[in-house]
Amino acid sequence: MKDSLKFFWWRLELFYFQELEESLTWRLDDLGIKSYAINRYLEKSEGQVLMVWLPSSEWIDKDREELVRSLMDLGKAFKEKPLSVKWYKIVHEDWSESWKKFWEPDPVGKNFLILPSWISLPRIYSNRIVLKLDPGSAFGTGAHPTTRLCLEALERISLSGLTVADVGCGSGILGLASLKLGAKKVRAVDIDSLAVQATNANALLNNFTQNQLTVSQGSIDSLKKQLNGTKVDLLVCNILSSVIRELASDFAHMSSKESHVFLSGLLEDQVAAMTSFLSILNWKFIASYKRENWSLIHLCKNSA
């Protein structure tokens, strides 16, 4: 077989500035690209680097050029801070192994510590709730503002004995956090098979059984099958606003009169419209929380 037909990774390295980080990660998530990492620990003058791994079998030259144009367009408003791009051809490299050297223990909120599974617990964080994580190829290291908003929101309420549903679970981090805070069980779904694998692996890392955290591939229909008529006490969705709108009408089928919902993945200017939309479906606004340009809204059934 010719070398050109052998599988390899394209690694895109984009040198950028802090103000653009949210837009870049949002664009990648919107395009369904999950294999990326951020290096914030460079000593070079270029600053931060966004690294994206693309399988050669799926990304031809034309597609890669279009991706670069899409990312570079985000920086046009900052003419005084031009972006720069480099491409590397990487043979026999698993992207998830490559970025591990850049990931450190990460305290979140008042109580959580996201701990890479290959790192020992630092003594300084011994009083925190440890979430051991190895996301593999799934989205969800906890670094994104929308994930951190969810983790902080989970800390604000009592989860003791509750059933939690996680739609778009990624690495399973929100389900793990819910169980660590006392939830009885978590039912999770994601359309990505890699996310299902990662969630199962991370549940084992944190010593949770399959009965405590059950995950399946799919969306709302898969979640309904898991629940089999059982109602959830808390529904968590950390996904894009457009997807939330598509799924929202189904929330009632799995919710009780006392159910709550956390919706993240919303840009700040989408909160009012989303809240109004959900009020028509009998969800009552409780509070919203902001981190950078992202927001989370907490709602409950009107009868709660």
Whether residue 195 lies inside any domain: the answer is: yes
208 and 288 share a domain? yes
Which of 78, 98, 118 terminates a domain? The answer is 98
Q: What is the 3-state secondary structure (H, E, C) of the chain?
A: CCHHHCCCEEEEEEEECHHHHHHHHHHHHHCCCCCEEEECCCCCCCCEEEEEEEECCCCCHHHHHHHHHHHHHCCCCCCCCCCEEEEEEECCCCHHHHHHHHCCCEEECCCEEEEECCCCCCHHHCCCEEEEECCCCCCCCCCCHHHHHHHHHHHHCCCCCCEEEEECCCCCHHHHHHHHCCCCEEEEEECCHHHHHHHHHHHHHCCCCCCCEEEEECCHHHHHHHHCCCCEEEEEEECCHHHHHHHHHHHHHHEEEEEEEEEEEEEHHHHHHHHHHHHHCCEEEEEEEEECCEEEEEEEECCC
* Residues 152 and 290 occupy one common structural domain: yes
Note whether residue 132 is domain-resident: no
CATH classification at residue 253: 3.40.50.150
Does residue 116 lie within any of the structural domains? Answer: no
Q: What is the pLDDT of residues 120-173, one digit of tens each?
A: 999 999 999 999 998 665 566 777 888 999 999 999 999 999 999 999 998 899
Is there a single domain that holds both residue 143 and residue 258?
yes
Domain count, the chain: 2
| Predicted pLDDT at 258 | 92
Q: Considering the entire predicted model, what is its pTM?
A: 0.72
Q: What is the CATH number of the domain that holds 60?
A: 3.30.70.120
Residue 72 domain boundaries: 3-98
Tens-place pLDDT, residues 277-286? 999 999 999 9
Domain check: are 188 and 43 in the same one? no
